[in-house]
Amino acid sequence: MSEGSAADSFRLSLPADPKQVGAARLFVATTFRMLGADEDLVADLKLAVSEAASAIVRAQGLAGRILIEISSVASGETVTIGPLTADDMAADDGIAPGDVVVAVFRDARIDEHKHALVIPVNRPRDS
């Protein structure tokens, strides 16, 4: 966090149900539109969050939760989504969800301490 700046934080917790993957995308898209993101970035965020939320549902089953946090500071936003491990984002039969995420957000990574996927979002700012 930059000196003296307070982070805005947006959080959502959803049941780990396939039907909630769309709600995870909607949350991220709505929040980033509110923060002024353009539609290309919103489309990439929806894809990355869909990959991560789907991996959570597969790994956790219906008893689990999809936890999403978007933190916004002057230098940019970070999307954190979990609980996830690197194994959860690996390929089961060809296309790895983790590869799709990294294709659109090169700096995205699994944070083993947070047990989550962390996506730093860099975008042009108005000021």
- The residue among 87 and 99 lying less far from other proteins, judged by its C-beta, is 99
Question: How far is it, in rounded angstroms, from Cα 8 to Cα 56?
Answer: 25
- The residue among 21 and 121 lying less far from other proteins, judged by its C-beta, is 21
8 A C-beta contact, residue 110 and residue 116: yes
* Shortest separation between residue 127's beta carbon and other proteins, angstroms: 29
- The residue among 66 and 118 lying less far from other proteins, judged by its C-beta, is 66
- The residue among 49 and 72 lying less far from other proteins, judged by its C-beta, is 49
Three-class HEC string of the chain:
CCCCCCCEEEEEEEECCHHHHHHHHHHHHHHHHHCCCCHHHHHHHHHHHHHHHHHHHHHHCCCCEEEEEEEEECCEEEEEEECCCCHHHCCCCCCCHHHHHHHHCCCCEEECCCCEEEEEECCCCCC
* Shortest separation between residue 19's beta carbon and other proteins, angstroms: 5
* Shortest separation between residue 112's beta carbon and other proteins, angstroms: 23
* Shortest separation between residue 102's beta carbon and other proteins, angstroms: 10
Return residues touching other proteins (CB under 8 A). Answer: 18-19, 21-22, 25, 43, 46-47, 50-51, 53-54, 57-58, 93-97, 99-100, 103-104
